[in-house]
Structure 1
Amino acid sequence: MHATLFLPLLAFLAARCARADPYAQRQWTLPDYRTPYYTVYPPLDAGNATRDFVVQQVDELSGLQDYGTTYMQYRDGGGACQVNNISFFVFSDTTTMCMTTGDWVCFTSNSLATNAATNQPQQLADISASPENKCIDFTPFSEYELTENENYWTRFALWAFSDCVTVNDTFAVQFFQVERFYGWTSYFLAGSSMGQYSLDLDNNNLTVTRESQYFFMNTTYTYGSFATLTVNDTAYLYGLDEFYSDRSDLHLARVLLTGITDVSQYEFYNAATEEWESSAPYVTSRREDAAAMQSNIPLSSGSFYFSEYHNQYVFIFFSNYVDNTFRLMTSPTPWGPWNMSDDALYYATPGPNGYNYGAAAHAMYYQTDGEAAGKTVLLHYSYAGEHGTYPRAARLTFA
């Protein structure tokens, strides 16, 4: 699912191009551009939906790219983030190619691109994957990880699939999956890491920091690396059971925004008892009864948000590793009960290889004074094209 163009070669090249920073911190300058969305304050228990989810209009958009350059970025996954109305995406494995010659320029484990036009959300401004910053990852590796990445046969990868959690006007966090490679294409989920984003409003500088290699180990669920949802002053963090449920169960943690960097302040939902527990479970087998969402389908990726327009919490997702159909579930609360009908919303035309992956949904572009949040949503996904994988988008408007 997560492999980008010519992964064996690029894993080797990435290791050779990585810059050995002594500290796990990096700073980037963002464009002075704001997305005029407003913050929604949803009820914790919304009750019944006020509208059905009927798609009225679909606008096919082009690929999510920086169209002002002569370079093409092929990249996987991607989570969105908004800090002080600056909207940006963090993508996973990213390859930069020269459009005119087709030459390889660089490869990074993840990359940063900001939104450049509200009415054209597919228009990005590349930051970290630009040729000027070639082969420098947006999120820094530790010295230990860099040392391991120098080995031809191994590497660590930091992949973003979930949206960040905005804490205030200058601070946010994002959870990255820490993938451990043994051999060219064999890898497994080792845990999750927290990237902390600090925004300097005077200079539009974004500093990203990783204080440790892991925030959650894979001996529990990697809460937040699958999806996140912020409800007023609380973050809800969804972790996928990858090892025991065939990717079918989602488990849930919550924490006040003020304590999100302190794992001791987290609580963990047990659906069997309908209670929040203070200790993260140590997982040695499937705990289907404790999961906030149990299904019979292997979840690939997806996003949660509250639709003000429908008065429901929404989960939009792909139901297989490789898929083309965006599906929807709804719930009155962040923890359920979820409507498991998984209604089909939109069919994304597959690439030449017959599939897409990496489904994500974003409502922030359309949370304006003239339109209730959730009436229109931006979908994006990884399109497996002829020469590589890149994100494409579609805009859905509900009746």
Structure 2
Amino acid sequence: MSLGHLPLKVKAFERLGTLTDENGNRYTRDIGCSSVLGGVPFWAFGDTFPLNRNGQMIGLLTSTCALGYVQNPVKSRYWNCDREGKPPQFIPFTNEELKFNRDHQHGGQKRFYLWSFSKIAETSPGEGYIFFHKGRTETQQMSDNVGYGIQIANVKISADRSQLICTRIMNEPFFKDRVDWGSFDTVVVNDHVYLYGGQGDHIYCARVLKSRITDKSAYEFWNKDRWTKDENQKSDLFWKLQSGSVFWSQYYRCFIMVGCTMWADNKIIMRSAPRPEGPWTNDMLLYQLYKPQSGINYCVNAHPWAFPESNGGQLLVSWTDQHTGVVELGKVTWEGYEGPSNNQQYEDRNYPYPRPPQPYFPNQFSQYPGQYHQQYQAYPNQYEQYAPPGQAPPGWSSPTPPRYPHPSNYNNGNGGGYNDDQQGYPPQVPYWSKPR
């Protein structure tokens, strides 16, 4: 099997079109994050608007899930749809939430929502946990929303391996009034679940043993050079990212983050690191997307389960087009990949801690809008020896990423797309994650 050589470099990018549902019904939907449970891929979406045969909207769901196909990743399939093609709500509402939504369904503004932007953390074969936002809309401005923190649900694959069963395990917030752990993404590495969560402009990293994921006292927090039980000592990894996926790359033998910033610039960016907690390289441009007819492209995610014959030499990425309200797909071919050399399947559960193929430059964060470094800068004698798991690499430290001025009404954008009426600053996120 061929291996890539850092820095990350794209050989080709091919647009594959829209992710469609094989039942033939039309849906506008966003997020488009995917997870693998029991070896089966599943797609998760946020606000989902089913359309009937006449193109009329027949409902609104805030969380839906569809079966994916390794051999045909441009297709998905909802299960248990009604006669008009409306799928069931994936993360279930409580009776109180359902009643509130029914009572306000004709008002057009107030509703409870359950949004998940991260992968399901598989803690045992075919079973895992999903972290999600619970909130309530009040107006058409995201800044007016009422947040209830991050909650957690148990997810299991069905006996016939065709659908997922989601059960909320508590109605009170799991995390509230601090970092929204698990809201950005999760990645399972050996016995630990690593959780990336946002607070303000910054993304932080925590970890917990898979066996204790529902025990808040078991969480540890990364503070630049070690893991600590004191959350107040946490340090940030990323700055002003709207969405992204963290995953182990079998091709590059490192962790990769693929996502997009809050700058509404229609760029897909990427970073790499030898460990889930870093040190992470500067932003690099993976691909410059088109500008939609209105709005932007957002909710960028990576799906390393696709194209298994490439052994990681190719990567499926997705984004939501705010104008059309659909999830679009593209295929990345990494530099150096010349095609499958054998029938070995891509093994995304193998997470060795590698010695980085080349050193990283630790003291530069290309987090200002418009800066996308195309290659890393070498830092002599860094990583002469790689530290054991759980310890900091020798000599590494990182600065606090710089701040960038922005309007006082700016919000962190976890709810979806952007208006484009505030040029030069991260614009405000609208109430609807779909175009009006």
Tell me the TM-score normalized by structure 2. 0.69
Deviation at 1:311, TM superposition (A): 2.0
Query: Residues of 1 paired with 2:213 and 2:62: CA distance?
Result: 25
**Bigger fraction of residues in strand:** 1
Per-residue deviation, residues 153-210 of structure 1 (Å, max 9, x unmatched): 5322111211111112221111112222123444254311112112243575532100
Q: Is the 8 A contact 1:106 1:135 kept in 2?
A: no
Q: State the secondary structure of the residue aligned to 2:182.
A: coil
Q: 1:61 aligns with which of 16, 39, 43?
A: 16
Q: Which residue in the other structure is 1:314 paired with?
A: 256
1:73 alignment partner, SS class: strand
Q: Which amino acid aligns with 1:51?
A: L
Q: Which residue of 2 aligns with 1:77?
A: 31
Instruction: Give, as a single letter, the amino acid of the residue that structure 1 aligns with 2:247.
Output: Y
1:252 is matched with which residue: 188, 191, 205? Answer: 205
1:7-22 to 2 correspondence within 5 Å?
none
Say whether 1:225 aligns with 2:183.
yes
- Aligned-pair distance for 1:64? 0.9
Identical amino acids, percent of aligned pairs: 26
CA deviation profile, 1:190-244 (whole Å, cap 9, x unmatched)? 31111211224357553210012344333111111111111112110000113xx
The 3 A distance-change label for structure 1 pair 128 and 221 is farther
* Aligned pair partner of 2:115 in 159, 163, 181: 159
**Contact 1:304-1:314 at 8 Å conserved across structures:** yes
Q: Structure 2 residue aligned with 1:349, among 283, 290, 306?
A: 290
**Contact 2:66–2:163 at 8 Å: present in 1 too?**
no
Q: Return the index of the structure with the highest Cα Rg.
A: 2
Q: Which residue of the other structure, out of 170, 174, 196, is the alignment partner of 1:212?
A: 170
| Residue 310 of structure 2: aligned partner | 371
**CA deviation vs aligned residue, 1:358-382 (integer Å, no higher than 9, x gap):** 111111113x3x4333x21111011
- Can you give the 5+ residue segments of structure 1 that lack an aligned partner in the other structure? 1-48, 282-288
User: Alpha-carbon deviations, 1:38-65, whole Å to 9, x = none?
Assistant: xxxxxxxxxxx83332211222111111
Structure 1 residue aligned with 2:59: 106
Q: Does 1:137 align with 2:73?
A: no
Aligned to 2:235: 291
1:124 aligns with 2:76: yes
Q: Secondary structure of the equivalent of 1:217? A: coil
In 2, distance between residues paired with 1:80 and 1:350? 24
Separation in structure 2 between the aligned mates of residue 314 and residue 381 of structure 1, nearest angstrom? 17
Structure-2 residue corresponding to 1:303: 245
* Aligned AA (1:167): T
Moved more, 124-133 or 347-356: 124-133
Q: Is the 8 A contact 2:40 2:161 kept in 1?
A: no
2:227 is aligned, of 276, 301, 317, to 276
Q: Counterpart in 1 of 2:134?
A: 178
Aligned pair count reads 326
CA contact (8 A) 2:17 2:328 kept: yes
Amino acid of the structure 1 residue aligned with 2:329 = A
SS of 1:148 mapped into structure 2: helix
Unmatched runs of 5 consecutive residues or more in structure 2:
336-436
Q: What are the superposed Cα offsets for residues 296-318 of structure 1, whole Å, 9 maximum, x if unpaired?
A: xx211001011121122111111
Q: 2:45 aligns with which of 91, 96, 111?
A: 91
The whole-number CA distance in structure 2 between the counterparts of 1:129 and 1:268 is 41
Name the CA distance, whole Å, in 2 between partners of 1:303 and 1:238. Answer: 10
Distance 2:17 2:71 in 1: 13
Deviations 1:252-278 (A, max 9, x none): 11011111122222212223xx33233
User: CA, structure 1 residues 214+306, in 2 after alignment: closer, same or farther (shift >3 Å)?
Assistant: farther
Q: Equivalent residue of 1:102, what SS? A: coil
Write out the 4+ residue segments of structure 1 that deviate beyond 6 Å after TM superposition. none
TM-score normalised by structure 1 residue count: 0.75
The aligned counterpart of 2:154 is 196
- 2:177 & 2:164 partners in 1: Cα distance? 32
The CA deviation string for residues 66-115 of structure 1, in whole angstroms up to 9 with x for no partner, is 1441x2110111321111111111100000112x4222222111111111
Decide whether aligned partners of structure 1 residues 290 and 206 sit closer, same or farther in structure 2, where only a CA change above 3 A counts: closer
